[in-house]
Chain A
Amino acid sequence: MMGVGLLTVVTFLPALGAVALTLVPRRRDDILRAGALVVTAATFVVSIALYAGFDGDSPDFQFDELHAWLPQLGVGYHVGIDGISLLLVLLTTFLTPIALASAWHAIEDRTKEFVVAMLVLETGMLGVFVALDLFLFFVFWEAMLIPMYFIIGVWGGGRRVYAAIKFVLYTMVGSALMLVAILVLYYQHGGATGMYTFDLPTLARYVLAPGLAQDLMFLAFGLAFAIKVPLFPFHTWLPDAHVEAPTAGSVILAGVLLKMGTYGFLRFCLPLFPDASLTFGPLIFALAVVGIVYGAWVSTVQPDLKKLVAYSSVSHLGFVMLGVFTLNQQGLVGGVLQMINHGLSTGALFLMVGMIYERRHTRLIAEFGGLWSVMPAFSALFLIVCLSSLGLPGLNGFVGEFLILVGAFQINGWLAAAATTGIIFAAVYLLWMYQRVAFGEIRHEANRHLRDLDAREWALLAPALVFIVWIGVYPRTFTSKTEATVQALIAQVESKASVAQRPIVPAIVAGAAFRPGRQPSRP
């Protein structure tokens, strides 16, 4: 397809907006904010056309665009979306304007740099989700680090510099090895087929021989993604980055950035390295469960609201990883849906934590109590968001987690049961926190005259709430677009995985034959 397609427009609209806004004088904060909001809102509107035009029955990449970029090396500008990336693109375009609007008053210093960074960041994130060329993907993947680095480092809290550097270095170490693996794959494929290309669909058709080389490449990709997810034990950058980032940064970080890790596993690790995915699947499965339980336990004891939400992300992303590595229909669809759910619920949680922080300039749970009597609207919405995050039936979290667990029980009942405790602990830490914040007597004078939500804050939360209920009641709007893609993905992994039996990674996993989807034993 020639010319500039819809997907390119969606991806680069924010970047164009950023360029335009650099021309606005520095002191016109109002124009800068409004301009950025208009650009991101326009991006969202255009991206709805992607949803409308997307054929959910087809597992193929749609809105496909391919232009030569560096033809000498087989690098192309190749973008396209399938049912998985469609939802993530929509999530990104949906959350970015909300995050921008949340910073309307919170960020008064150097507004120009802030809005430009946010817009560039959006292009980077969208690029990651739409890129179908390993080189292009890597470019977006790395480029996106820099605006996030600035957002945390310039507009963050007290230890912002430490958190920003930690965030960048962790990610760079992971992606450095991924670059080597990309190159090795490129030359292996080129050497075997005579076609040197970074094109993902082409590479994905190539059956890589199982063995050490594939395992190492899987691990190199996997490390980059596992750090991003973050999968236990690579999660230590996350609490720092989340706590120090400004609210807008936290929303984007939790809502979109973490999904890049899980998306990476789906898009690259599974189709490119199916054997290694099966080999290391049990290990990742187990780490996911550890992350679920560990994240939940650590959340329970956090005195700081933002840290609590940050650790809860470790737990929730553990669920997503669990779903992905069940490698069966329910688990994968649940995993994809849970990515969206987590983006909505945790994004909303961070927004609301940010709202009370703006009022009280503290996030310590012990500083609150009895908010229901002074801020009833806030408290009611906060309850809904908490319930969504802990997976109450009827709200979005339930659908995703249920599907994931259905998938997981088919693989290993014991681990799935352990993961289920994560849901229980989620109820513990979220409701206990909620109780300490909203119920009881007002213990601090400063809390007595807090104002309730204003119109802007309502406008920020309402869209997320709509989708929280929508997905909870009628998830088919979204799952219908992904199911075909997921089926195709599973078929691809299974057909490519060699027939040869390979030993499972020793010791770590409690036994368990890991043969996805072949031994259905319903819970």
Chain B
Amino acid sequence: MLVLDLLPPRRTKEHLGGVALAGVVAALLASIAQWGRGARGFRDMVVLDDYALFLHVVICYAAALAVLLSIDYLRRNGIESGEYYALVLLSTSGMLLLASAGDLLIVFLGIELMSLPLYVLAGLFKTRLPAGEASLKYFLLGVFATTFLLYGTALIFGTTGATNLARIAAATAGRASGDALLTLGLGLLLVGFGFKISSVPFHMWAPDVYQGAPTSITALIATGSKAAAFGALLRVLMVALKSAQADWTVLLWAIAAVTMTAGNVVAIAQSNLKRMLAYSSIAHVGYMLIGLVAGGVPGAGAILYYLLAYTFTTAGAFGAILMAERADGEEAVEVQDYAGLARRHPVLAATLALYLLSLVGIPPLAGFMAKFALFGAAVRAGHVWLTVVAVLNSAIAAYYYLRVIVYMYMRDAEGAGTRVAPTFAGGLALAIAAIGIVLLGVAPAPFVDLAQAAVAPLMR
């Protein structure tokens, strides 16, 4: 990719996007082809089981959507460059590695490989103040988080003598719980992961980064990196630290409840759509943590299903925002910019409304099925009250998602209003996302099967 950039410059650099897309799609197809044929490599440090492959598919979808959205967006904003796609692909490799990590060191490696390019990409609008803030904040807090992760890894290595997940599991299997060092290591790991998935109280960076980063990168951070980090967290907890399940279940119960409530309540106060979606994504992490609390095949399977649904929905929502621009050429990010959008651009408004309704959890869309699977798993595990907190949260969330629809459909624009920059690639991305949402909602059966089959390797 870097080499391609150096080739005699053509009029545009859109071909680079095409190449990047081809790479991601190839990775996607390779992942699908590998299905059912588990493989391990590098002395079990990398595990390529169905679980990893499912996450790979999710990540590749996220990356593909992000690349599709980038192609036109970069040109419009004058930040077209070859490094961009190189960094996106590098970061994607990090995500893929993270999702198949069978060793805490690979987890660390994957997180670094995923995050470092994202730190750069977040600050791509070099001349804008929020971009600098986003990049620096993301970098500092991200590095801070990985330090915690590394420290936790060290402590766990100290108590168990292993960094390999399976061997940690074997070493801790017989032990009575209450080993202080192990618990501390677990806690530190959770802090590190907490930053990466942006759960409360480690979520502070998310709104600023989401706001400052280029929207196509925001979409990638919100979907791909979250899926990878969540996938790794799930594997670490379910495989390596299964013996400490009682400890982390209690902890995550509280984190889940606080995360979704804080995310949803603060989102109500946001008028910037990117910030609103940032808080909404924090809330969605809270929902997904319910799956971890519930545990077992239903809980973990529900998380995978949720990640898939969430990736389509969130990438779509950011994509729709990215397509809208104000009369002065700036990106339309304030909710007022969307006033009267339905009158001038009914298709875009309807598509964005579809994503938002899926985020609310209105049936028969993907968001509803995903929530239903999660809540079902939680009730099954006896966490009825956590489910009550979650459903009430969904009702709160309806308010701020619907507010955007209010602006699009029920208010009229003041002044020139918002234009839309329709492009083939962007339109394709939105269409893929919309089809995914409807398909996952109306015909969920095969996907639920796949998700449940995918988590089976974790349960051994």
A138 and B363 contact, Cβ closer than 8 Å, known pairs A149-B402, A187-B379: yes
Distance of A342 from chain B, by nearest CB (Å): 28
Q: Which of B365-423 contact A (CB under 8 A)?
A: 368, 372-373, 375-376, 379-380, 384, 387-388, 391-392, 394-395, 398-399, 402-403, 406, 409-411
Q: Which of A145, A164, A186, A187 contacts B362 (CB 8 A)?
A: A145
Q: Which of B331-363 contact A (CB under 8 A)?
A: 342-343, 346, 357, 362-363
B448 within 8 A of A: yes
Q: Which of A70, A153, A177, A180 contacts B410 (CB 8 A)?
A: A153
Do residues A180 and B395 form an inter-chain contact, with CB atoms below 8 A?
A: no
Q: Which of B343, B375, B403 contacts A180 (CB 8 A)?
A: B375
B216 within 8 A of A: no
Residues in B whose Cβ lies below 8 Å from that of A150:
409
Distance of A214 from chain B, by nearest CB (Å): 14
A168 to B361, CA, bound (A): 13
Do residues B391 and A176 form an inter-chain contact, with CB atoms below 8 A?
A: yes
Do residues A160 and B410 form an inter-chain contact, with CB atoms below 8 A?
A: yes
Do residues A184 and B402 form an inter-chain contact, with CB atoms below 8 A?
A: no
Do residues B362 and A142 form an inter-chain contact, with CB atoms below 8 A?
A: yes
A139 and B368 contact, Cβ closer than 8 Å, known pairs A69-B445, A180-B384: yes
A501 within 8 A of B: no
Residues in B whose Cβ lies below 8 Å from that of A145:
362
A186 to B375, CA, bound (A): 12
Interface string of A134-158 (1 = CB under 8 A from B): 0100111011011001100110000
Residues in B whose Cβ lies below 8 Å from that of A71:
445
Do residues A72 and B388 form an inter-chain contact, with CB atoms below 8 A?
A: no
B449 within 8 A of A: yes
Residues in A whose Cβ lies below 8 Å from that of B394:
172, 176
Do residues A139 and B376 form an inter-chain contact, with CB atoms below 8 A?
A: no
Q: Which of B343, B362, B406, B445 contacts A110 (CB 8 A)?
A: B343
Do residues A153 and B384 form an inter-chain contact, with CB atoms below 8 A?
A: no
A446 within 8 A of B: no
Do residues B384 and A70 form an inter-chain contact, with CB atoms below 8 A?
A: no
Q: Which of B362, B364, B384, B452 contacts A72 (CB 8 A)?
A: B452
Q: Which of A68, A72, A154, A187 contacts B380 (CB 8 A)?
A: A187
A173 within 8 A of B: yes
A454 to B394, CA, bound (A): 47
Residues in A whose Cβ lies below 8 Å from that of B373:
73
Do residues B379 and A72 form an inter-chain contact, with CB atoms below 8 A?
A: no
B18 within 8 A of A: no
Q: Which residue in chain A gives the minimum CB-CB distance to B350?
A: A113
Do residues A184 and B375 form an inter-chain contact, with CB atoms below 8 A?
A: no
- Among A73, A169, A173, A183, the one with the most B-chain Cβ atoms within 10 Å of its Cβ is A183
Q: Which residue in chain A gives the minimum CB-CB distance to B397?
A: A172
Residues in B whose Cβ lies below 8 Å from that of A169:
395, 398-399
B444 within 8 A of A: yes
Do residues B406 and A153 form an inter-chain contact, with CB atoms below 8 A?
A: yes
A183 and B379 contact, Cβ closer than 8 Å, known pairs A138-B363, A161-B410, A165-B406: yes
Do residues A146 and B444 form an inter-chain contact, with CB atoms below 8 A?
A: no
A146 to B362, CA, bound (A): 8
Q: Which residue in chain B gives the minimum CB-CB distance to A156?
A: B410
Distance of A125 from chain B, by nearest CB (Å): 15
A173 to B397, CA, bound (A): 11
Residues in A whose Cβ lies below 8 Å from that of B448:
70, 72-73
A380 to B87, CA, bound (A): 77
Q: Which residue in chain A gives the minimum CB-CB distance to B445?
A: A70
A-B residue pair count with CB separations less than 8 angstroms: 87
Do residues A180 and B357 form an inter-chain contact, with CB atoms below 8 A?
A: no
A135 to B376, CA, bound (A): 12
A469 within 8 A of B: no
A177 and B391 contact, Cβ closer than 8 Å, known pairs A71-B445, A139-B363, A154-B410: yes
Distance of A143 from chain B, by nearest CB (Å): 5
A179 within 8 A of B: yes
Residues in B whose Cβ lies below 8 Å from that of A142:
362-363, 368
Distance of A223 from chain B, by nearest CB (Å): 12
Residues in A whose Cβ lies below 8 Å from that of B384:
180, 184
Distance of A367 from chain B, by nearest CB (Å): 27
Q: Which residue in chain B gives the minimum CB-CB distance to A145?
A: B362
Do residues A180 and B388 form an inter-chain contact, with CB atoms below 8 A?
A: yes
Q: Which of B346, B375, B410 contacts A179 (CB 8 A)?
A: B375
Do residues A176 and B362 form an inter-chain contact, with CB atoms below 8 A?
A: no
Residues in B whose Cβ lies below 8 Å from that of A68:
445
Do residues A184 and B363 form an inter-chain contact, with CB atoms below 8 A?
A: no
A68 to B448, CA, bound (A): 14
A72 to B368, CA, bound (A): 17
Residues in B whose Cβ lies below 8 Å from that of A153:
406, 409-410
Q: Which of A24-62 contact B (CB under 8 A)?
A: 26
Do residues A70 and B388 form an inter-chain contact, with CB atoms below 8 A?
A: no
Residues in B whose Cβ lies below 8 Å from that of A72:
445, 448-449, 452
Residues in A whose Cβ lies below 8 Å from that of B395:
169, 172-173, 176
Do residues A173 and B392 form an inter-chain contact, with CB atoms below 8 A?
A: yes
Q: Which of B376, B392, B399 contacts A73 (CB 8 A)?
A: B376
Do residues A179 and B391 form an inter-chain contact, with CB atoms below 8 A?
A: yes
Do residues B388 and A177 form an inter-chain contact, with CB atoms below 8 A?
A: yes
Residues in B whose Cβ lies below 8 Å from that of A140:
363
Q: Which of A159-193 contact B (CB under 8 A)?
A: 160-161, 164-165, 168-169, 172-173, 176-177, 179-180, 183-184, 186-187
Q: Which of B23-77 contact A (CB under 8 A)?
A: none
Residues in B whose Cβ lies below 8 Å from that of A143:
362-364
Residues in B whose Cβ lies below 8 Å from that of A179:
372, 375, 391
A68 to B373, CA, bound (A): 17
Distance of A474 from chain B, by nearest CB (Å): 40
A428 to B262, CA, bound (A): 51
Chain A residues with a Cβ under 8 A of chain B: 26, 68-73, 110, 113, 135, 138-140, 142-143, 145-146, 149-150, 153-154, 160-161, 164-165, 168-169, 172-173, 176-177, 179-180, 183-184, 186-187
Add 8 more A-B contacts to A146-B357, A164-B410, A179-B391 (CB < 8 A): A68-B445, A70-B445, A73-B376, A161-B406, A172-B398, A177-B388, A177-B391, A183-B375
Interchain Cβ contacts under 8 Å between A and B, 6 examples = A72-B449, A139-B368, A145-B362, A153-B409, A154-B410, A176-B392
